[in-house]
Chain A
């Protein structure tokens, strides 16, 4: 019972928070657009939370994979008249296939090298999009992408659509970390030799998850271009990738909800802070402060345990220690929230 409840904690929190903010949006309609932006970032950041927080594999290419998905869909819909409902498939597949192809040689690199390699991959994609001539719209980008299927341009429906995708990813993430494959991913982060000694095909698992992360970023790109109707080389780029990593690290890379919290923080701070040139200073300071206090971000395993103790304090001790119910323990289990 308890085990199943843990699987659904994070999805439940997402639904409640989403509904609450959308209701506030009745008073302040701009919140609906803000929610779309948070959902967009969360969708790109969540799979990075999985491969980095659980698998120890960093990537600074998520923003660029999203751009690839957005451009793929923009080109197919504006030039070839494909419906967005169909172009979503190549928008997911193209980044995923590219990621899978390059994964094997690069994912064995140590963290810093991998960060740099994925960052330069983003630069290569950006240059390709800028120099793509008429095909990619060059520096100007592409406009006139048709609106999203079914939900159209209604900001409430658009927000519901992207958060449905976020919710699906959260459900899958929550289940994954509590499965044999999730434990294998955890083992890869802790000690690759251990993972191999447990029969885990480390290169294949990492490549597949890296590709899945790129595909989900591509889906986010599809949402982006068909809700805004326009994509340029600067819309989703290496800076986006860096911001996505910031959200994951700040929010808590070990927790499912960490990337979403980071996305919300980033978006609200961007909205309320004056002067774009001071943003870097602000985010840099916040990041340093948070990481000094809690190296695993805001939703760190320690913070989650403290929270659970706080929540549990009011209840009578229903489960004696001898019961079969697993007690809260750190690590993978913390990913429940």
Chain B
């Protein structure tokens, strides 16, 4: 049981974005993916979720090859994700954003959605209540009916995590959820990630902020210029000379 990518290589024109990269996350596990800008972290996310198609390699979900599946199909199979730049309808309300998050688990026909007094109406009340509960968990209840565009960047990131959790994913991919958010919100986020993992969700966390990841993850993978340079326990990875060199900008690692 895991979400696993192996042998992933992708190039954009002459640029090799990822070269033979493997990464996996098991249910209940928090895996941190770190690396400097341009290391290929988001590209790897895109390969896992089907937003980008690698030239080589394979993605498996609990043993099933999902390499050929499109994004929306993978989402319905239980892979949730957030985006580096939050993607939301900024004019819509916070509650609407979370209600959209329930979509992957819903089976509602277009026709039922348009008919009065159908089960879709009861679903609507149920979803609304569940959305408000989730919003409260992220301390956003006061803004539930406000347009999402009025939230701070930090709150938008929390909202995206809440929306992703609404879809009850088995694996959750978070792309820099802690970037640009203040300390209180970061604690809230860390708590939510731990809680999700405790419920059996496998979390793959991309972060710039090595400290935040090291604190949360059981396992870390470091990417530098499209290749895995170190993996293991947070302590191992943070202390690895390749990682230190990449973050401090040292050109060559003394042997």
Chain B residues near A182: list those with CB within 8 A. 113
Query: Which of chain B's residues 99-148 have a Cβ closer than 8 Å to chain A?
Result: 99-104, 106, 108-110, 113-116, 120-121, 123-125, 127-128, 132, 145-147
**Shortest beta-carbon distance, A308 to chain B, in Å?**
14
- Contact at B103–A180, with CB atoms within 8 Å? yes
Instruction: Return chain B residues, CB-CB under 8 Å to A212.
Output: 110
Say yes or no: A199 contacts B167, CB within 8 Å.
yes
A181 touches B110 (CB 8 A): yes
CB atoms of A193 and B87 under 8 A apart: yes
| Interface bracket on B | 35 or more
A179 within 8 A of B: yes
Interface pair B89/A331, CB less than 8 Å apart: yes
Instruction: Tell me the minimal C-beta distance from B154 to chain A in angstroms.
Output: 19
Of B33-41, B75-83, B209-217, B229-237, the one contacting chain A is: B75-83
Decide: A175 and B116 in contact? CB cutoff 8 A: yes
CB pair B75–A198 under 8 Å, yes or no, is: yes
The A interface is mostly helix, strand or loop, or mixed, namely: helix
- Find residues 46-94 in chain B having any chain A CB closer than 8 Å to their own CB: 49, 51, 70-73, 75-76, 81, 83, 87-89, 91-93
Cross-chain contact A199 with B145 (CB below 8 angstroms): no
Bound complex: CA A7 to CA B132 (Å): 21
* Residues A170-212 near B (CB distance < 8 A): 171-173, 175-176, 178-184, 186-187, 190-191, 193-202, 205, 208-209, 212
| Residue B95 is within 8 A (CB to CB) of chain A in the complex | yes
| Chain A residues within 8 Å of B72, by CB | 195-202
Cβ-closest chain B residue relative to A212: B110
Within 8 A of B (CB), among A315-337: 324, 326-327, 329-333
A79 part of interface (Cβ distance < 8 Å):
no
Q: Are A186 and B120 in contact, CB atoms less than 8 angstroms apart?
A: no
**What is the CB-to-nearest-CB distance from A72 to chain B, in angstroms, rounded to a whole number?**
23
Complex: A327 Cα to B150 Cα, angstroms: 15
Q: Does B207 contact A (CB under 8 A)?
A: no
Query: Judging by beta carbons under 8 Å apart, are A197 and B120 in contact?
Result: no
- Give Cα distance in the complex from A252 to B147, angstroms: 21
Assuming the contacts A3-B125, A172-B115, asked whether A199 and B76 have C-beta atoms less than 8 A apart, the reply is yes
Decide yes or no whether B29 CB sits under 8 A from chain A.
Answer: no
The CA of A209 and the CA of B113, in the complex, are separated in Å by: 12
A180 pairs with B106, CB closer than 8 A: yes
Cα A201 to Cα B113 with chains together (Å) = 15
Contact partners of B163 in chain A: CB under 8 A: 198
Question: What is the distance, in angstroms, from A211's C-beta to the closest C-beta of chain B?
Answer: 10
CA A85 – CA B1 in complex, angstroms? 57
Closest residue of chain B to A205 (Cβ to Cβ) is B110
Closest to B83 in A: A197
- Looking at the complex, which one of A186, A202, A205 makes contact with B89 (CB distance below 8 Å)? A186
Residues of B within 8 A of A198 (CB): 72, 75, 100-101, 103-104, 163, 167
CA of A133 to CA of B82, assembled, Å: 58
Q: A179–B100 contact, CB under 8 A? A: no
Q: Please, which residue of chain B has its CB at the minimum distance from the CB of A200? A: B72
Closest-by-CB residue of A relative to B105 is A199
Residues of A within 8 Å of B227, CB to CB, are none
| A197 near B81: Cβ-Cβ < 8 Å | yes
Cβ-defined contact, A332 with B96, below 8 A:
yes
Distance, CA A115 to CA B108, complexed state (A): 30
A127-159 to B contact mask, C-beta < 8 Å, 1/0: 000000000000000000000000000000000
The 9 closest A-B pairs by CB, nearest first: A199-B104, A179-B113, A181-B113, A172-B114, A199-B75, A176-B114, A194-B87, A331-B91, A190-B89
Name 8 A/B residue pairs within 8 A (Cβ), A-sorted. Answer: A179-B108, A180-B127, A182-B113, A202-B72, A301-B91, A329-B93, A330-B147, A331-B91
